[in-house]
Amino acid sequence: MATTRAPLPRFPRDFLWGVSTSAHQIEGAADERGPSVWDAFTALPGTVKDSTTAAVACDHVRRYREDVALIRDLGVGAYRFSVSWPRVLPRGTGEVSERGLDFYDRLVDELCAAGVRPVPTLFHWDTPLAVAEAGGWLVRDTAHRFAEYAAVVAARIGDRVPKWITLNEPAEHTLLGHALGQHAPGQQLLFDALPAAHHQLLGHGLAVRALRAAGAGDIGVANSHGPTWAASDAAADREAADLYDVLLNRLFSDPLIAGRYPEVIAELLGAEVPDLDADLSTISEPIDWYGINFYQPTKVGAPLADAAATEFAGLTLPPELPFSPRPISGYPTTAFGWPVVPEALTELLLTLRDRYADRLPPLIITENGCSYDGLDDQERISYLDGHLRALHRALEAGVDVRGYFVWSLLDNFEWAEGFAQRFGLVHVDYATQRRTPKASYGWLRQELLAQNAPVPPLPEPGAAPPDPR
C-alpha cells in the first residue's frame, strides 16, 4: 500500500536528474562483441550465486528504443550508460568494430531525439579478455590502451555527448576483482592489488587528455564513497577504521582531487612505480566535476581475536586483513542486507567539502539506489525519498552538488549475485524481457514533475560543449 509522503524539497532549477545502467549488466548480445574478463569469470563454476551469465541480460542492444522511451517518460534529463570496451575494440586494441560503434551511434541518436542527455561511462569493469590476459590493470600498458579506446569512442559520438565519465568505481574493481577475488578477474592479491588501483587512475588521467584532444568537455569520474565509522573509541578500532577509509575512499579521491596519495599508499607504491610524481600529475588532470556513487556507510574495528573468514555485505573477507567490518544495527536493511542510512550521505558530502575545500570540483551523485523485490516497491520509494532529502540538506549547507542519478533504470545482472538482486525502477522478466515500471518509477516521475526542473537543451552536432559552470 502506498504511503503518503510530503513532497520533496525544491532543488535548483538547473539540477540534473538521471538514471544509470552499465553495459555488461544490461546489453546482452554477447555474440556481437569481443569477450570480456567477466565472460571468462562467469564461465567458472561457483563464481555467480545463481550460476547465470550476462550473455542475454536485459537484451538492451535489441531493445534500446523501448528503454529510451522509459527514460523519456520518466522525465529525467540524462541517462548514464556505459560503453562496452570489447564491443568497440574486440581485443581491447587494434581493429575497431564498426558494428559496435554503430550501436552506440543509434543509442545516442535515440536519446537526443527523446530530449535526454547521453552520459557515457567508458569503463564499468568489463575489461576486454585479451587485455586481461596480457596483465590487465596490474600492468601499466592497460592505462595507455584505455586512453586509445577513449579516443575511438569520442571520435564517433563526441559531437552529441555533452558529459563524459572515465571510470566507474575503481575501488570496487580493485578490492573485489584483484584483492579478494570475488569479482572478475578473480585475483586474491590483497595489498598486492594496489597497482591495479594506480593503473586505473593513470588510465583515467590519460583518457581525460585523450577526450579533450578529441574536443570533448565536461568530464568527470564516478567513484564510490561512504563514511567509515570506527567500531569504538579505542585506539585500535580508530586506527583500523582510518586504514579502511584510506583504501576505500582516499586512495582514489586524494590523487584525483589533491594530486597526492595518502602517505601509507605512497610508501607501498613507491617501489612499484618508477616516477610516481609524474603519474600523479597525469592522474590529477583537471576534471569538470566529481561523481559519487553512494550506498552505505561502513563500521570498522580492529581484527577480532578469534580471526576467521568473515561474511560481510555478501563478501567473504579473509582473516589476515588488518581491519574487521562490523554490522551496523538500528537501521532498516535492503534485500542485499545493506543498512539504509540516508544521513550518511549528508555526512559524506560535508566531509568531502571540508577535506578538499576549494580543490573540490562540483559534485554529481552518479549512483544511488537499493535492491528490493516486488512491483509495489514502497521500500525503494522510502530509500530514494530519504536520500534525496539528505542530499538537499547538504545543498542547504553549501555543498555544490549539481545532479543525481538513480541506480538503476532496469533490474539487471548484478555481477556475482547474478539476477537475484533487483535494483531497477523498472522490473524485467528475464524469461520474456517484458519491462514493467514499478511503483518507484511512478513516484519518481511525479516528484520530477513537481520539481518542474527544465532540462538544459542538447548541443547541436559539432557544437562546443556547454560550460559546466
Q: Does residue 409 contact residue 111 with C-beta atoms inside 8 Å?
A: no
DSSP of 174-227: IIIIIIS-SSTT----GGGGHHHHHHHHHHHHHHHHHHHHTT--SEEEEEE---
3-state secondary structure of 41: helix
Is 32 marked active-site?
A: no
| Catalytic pick among 27, 95, 343, 367 | 367
Is the four-CA dihedral 423, 429, 433, 434 of positive or negative sign? negative
Cβ neighbors of 390 (< 8 A, separation 6 or more) are 342, 343, 344, 345, 346
Per the document, the length of the chain is 469
User: Which helix (H) or strand (E) element contains residue 64?
Assistant: helix 60-74
Cβ count within 10 A of residue 105: 14
Q: Is 144 annotated as a binding residue?
A: no
* DSSP 8-state secondary structure symbol assigned to residue 36: B
CA 62/CA 89 separation, integer angstroms: 20
Q: Is 290 annotated as a binding residue?
A: no
Cβ count within 10 A of residue 319: 12
Give Cα 130 distance to the centre of its chain: 23
Among residues 142, 29, 123, which one has the least CA distance to residue 82?
Answer: 123
| Catalytic pick among 27, 32, 133, 169 | 169
Q: Alpha helix (H) ranges present in 247-402?
A: 251-253, 263-270, 276-283, 343-356, 378-396
* DSSP 8-state secondary structure symbol assigned to residue 454: P
What Cα–Cα distance (Å) separates residue 244 from each residue in 91, 115, 236? Answer: 35, 42, 12
Q: Is 124 annotated as a binding residue?
A: yes
**Side-chain-side CA neighbours of residue 145 (13 Å):** 27
CA 24/CA 57 separation, integer angstroms: 8
Is 267 marked active-site?
A: no
Instruction: Pick out the residues of the known binding site for substrate.
Output: 25, 124, 168, 295, 407, 414-415
Binding site listing = 25, 124, 168, 295, 407, 414-415
Cite the active site residues.
169, 367
